[in-house]
Structure 1
Amino acid sequence: MTTDDNAFTGSRRRPWHALPSPVRAGIEGVLGGRVVAARSQPGGFSDGLAARLELADGRRAFAKAVDTVAAPGVAAFHRREVAVNEVLPYGAPVPELLGAYDDQGWVALVFEDVEGALPVQPWREEELERVLDALTDLAERLTPAPGLNSPDVSARLGGWARLAGSGRSLAKLDVVAPGAARELDRHLALEALLPEVLVGETLTHGDLYPFNVLLTEERVVVVDWPHAWTGPAYADLVMLLGSVAMSGIDPEPYAARHPLLSGVDPVAVDVLISAQAGFLLAAVCSMDSADPGTDPRLERAMTALGLASLRWLSLRRPGRSGR
């Protein structure tokens, strides 16, 4: 599948000038300067502000902010991201958190500005290799996982059991991914192994798709860490490779030679691939496309990523297609 530049961008960004003036002032207070220009950024699906800011003194920063009443879930993610970023080790390929503003009505995070771009989609060989190499360094720096001053969260993996328990969701699955509906028992069996596969000592990003990666001339930078959890060192790698099949590329050769998967039980990898598809498709099948509150871009992106994971799984197990 080919994707355009906006395939991984939501439709609910709020421009800087639309923020309440106290929130703008709060962000400027974190920065210690006046914002004179702001440019909304592509990538990701969160409600609210996501913009690169230019200050009167020439400094630059990136800020994101959300209304806690309009989007309480996103606000909770922002607050957890503060907690995660506070413990990420120096030298990790992540943007520096400059500060946060939280007046209970709005939550804002302010980061260093990273002069980079999202990986081109479909994946280009050189960029993919850069990101895959960077994941080895990332896993090494985050093992053992630093302690978080925040409750742990569940990995965004698994969902087949939830699908199986909902007739409405099963009906939608039969339309979205009929092969997966036919092989539901197989995915349920893999999902039963998920608790033991999730054991590990590495702080994983937990949402490592192309829209959370920035490429600069010198660095690969991983952004947006609210879903971080502690698990196996290869979990983020498997998640990222799940997106590769969207580009018409077989992820398996990359997986076979990657050091993070050396010696890993192939069944454990199957479990993670299936669990990734299960999380995405369970979320899609619970959405009401006719509901004005549903972001159609998010629904399409999650569907495409879920089907891509199933394609990879079918390539690992010939003759067993998930589509």
Structure 2
Amino acid sequence: MPTSDASWGTPAPLPSHTGSRRISWSSLPRSVAAGIEGLLQGAVTTAISQQGGFSDGLAVRLELSDGRKAFAKAVDTVAAPAVGEFHRREIAVAGGLPSGVPAPRLLGSFDDGEWVALVFEDIDGALPAQPWREAELRRVLDAVTDLAEGLTPAPPRDLAYPAPRLGGWRRLADNPRALRKLTEISPRTADELEAHLSLEAHLAEATAGETLTHGDLYPFNILLTADRVVVVDWPHAWAGPRHADLVMLLGSVALSGIDPEPFAARHPLLTGVERDAVDVLISAQAGFLLAAACSMDSTGDPRLARMMTGLGLASLRWLSVRHDGTGAGRGGAPAGGR
């Protein structure tokens, strides 16, 4: 349901790829390619690079000499240590997901101390259209309910789940350069910094829970097949409330020029959830995205910065809509990045 409020702007597609930061199968060190082939017990005959996503390194659909297919991703951890950490974390998370969870099955991993690779079953699917189409959105929202039910309680694992990638208003407040950039991007958001800091003070209680959440549930991490909704890329999973992934996903809905609030109001995962608790998550999501975008230096990926900025401001517009005519919630009612 597109909103009639002109301040939402024209719906725009979400950026989906990093440009030149991906590497090809042919440029892999031979030892790494051989390691992946060893996991698959077959020779790769075709490798098609996938441009979707925002991580450095390899992301490729493979076909073997016997006709089998797989998806592989790999990264040089010396050149991209953060991505290497994400890959190693995803090995642990993906390997521990219950069999019924709609995620690609991890076939194996390779780690020689420098290069890390993961190999998954190939999913013959496509990303949801952006801007969101209502039929696809409703299908994904139903799948988020099933996802939360299948991951409550969170599967046990040897290592503790990391803290969520939420919150960042305090980092912005303490970083003059980033704060100046925020003021350039959205003066209104900078003016409302104190209100967001007040919400962020309640982040620990708003993120408490026993559900394994994906932690990065945006359209570029969702594949639609003929009969399934499959969620990919799990390095940022954390244990929290059942509704956390839903709130994150609805932020991307706002970016499409669609009011997320009617969908939130009737979604079963938000039944009985305190309004303030949702406000804290929306604000914290925007805070993480905007702090990351505003702190990025000249070596950062500009597509990633634009994606984070767009999603962050969209979440703030949603927060504003939630409070229009209803009065302020905890810490006041930030009006958003209009």
TM-score of the two chains, using structure 1 as the length reference:
0.97
Mapping for residues 149-160 of structure 1, pairs under 5 Å: 149-160=158-169
Q: Are the counterparts in 2 of residues 80 and 150 from structure 1 also a CA contact under 8 Å?
A: no
Structure 2 unaligned blocks of 5 or more: 1-9, 326-333
Structure 1 unaligned blocks of 5 or more: none
**Separation (CA, whole Å) in 2 of partners of 1:86 and 1:23:** 20
**Separation (CA, whole Å) in 1 of partners of 2:40 and 2:140:** 30
Aligned to 2:280: 271
**2:330 maps to 1:322:** no
Deviations 1:45-99 (A, max 9, x none): 1100001101110000000000010001101110110100111111110000000
SS in 2 for 1:50: strand
Misfit runs of 4+, over 3 Å: 1-4
Deviation of residue 142 (structure 1)? 0.3
Aligned to 2:328: none
**2:140 maps to 1:134:** no
Deviation of residue 321 (structure 1)? 2.2
Deviation of residue 117 (structure 1)? 0.4
Residue 15 (structure 2) aligned to one of 7, 25, 37: 7
Q: Are the counterparts in 2 of residues 37 and 55 from structure 1 also a CA contact under 8 Å?
A: yes
Residue 177 (structure 1) aligned to one of 170, 182, 186: 186
| Equivalent residue letter for 2:336 | G
Aligned to 2:305: 299
Residue 203 (structure 2) aligned to one of 165, 177, 194: 194
Deviation of residue 257 (structure 1)? 0.5
Aligned to 1:23: 32
Residue 242 (structure 2) aligned to one of 233, 238, 244: 233
**2:60 maps to 1:51:** yes
| Equivalent residue letter for 1:191 | E
Q: Are the counterparts in 1 of residues 54 and 304 from structure 2 also a CA contact under 8 Å?
A: yes
Aligned length: 319
**Separation (CA, whole Å) in 1 of partners of 2:70 and 2:167:** 36
Deviation of residue 33 (structure 1)? 0.4
Q: CA RMSD in A?
A: 1.1
Residue 280 (structure 1) aligned to one of 275, 289, 297: 289
TM-score of the two chains, using structure 2 as the length reference:
0.93
Deviation of residue 318 (structure 1)? 1.4
Deviation of residue 222 (structure 1)? 0.3
| Equivalent residue letter for 1:9 | H
* Percent identical residues: 67
Aligned to 2:315: 309
**2:120 maps to 1:111:** yes
Deviations 1:165-194 (A, max 9, x none): 111111111011211101011000000011
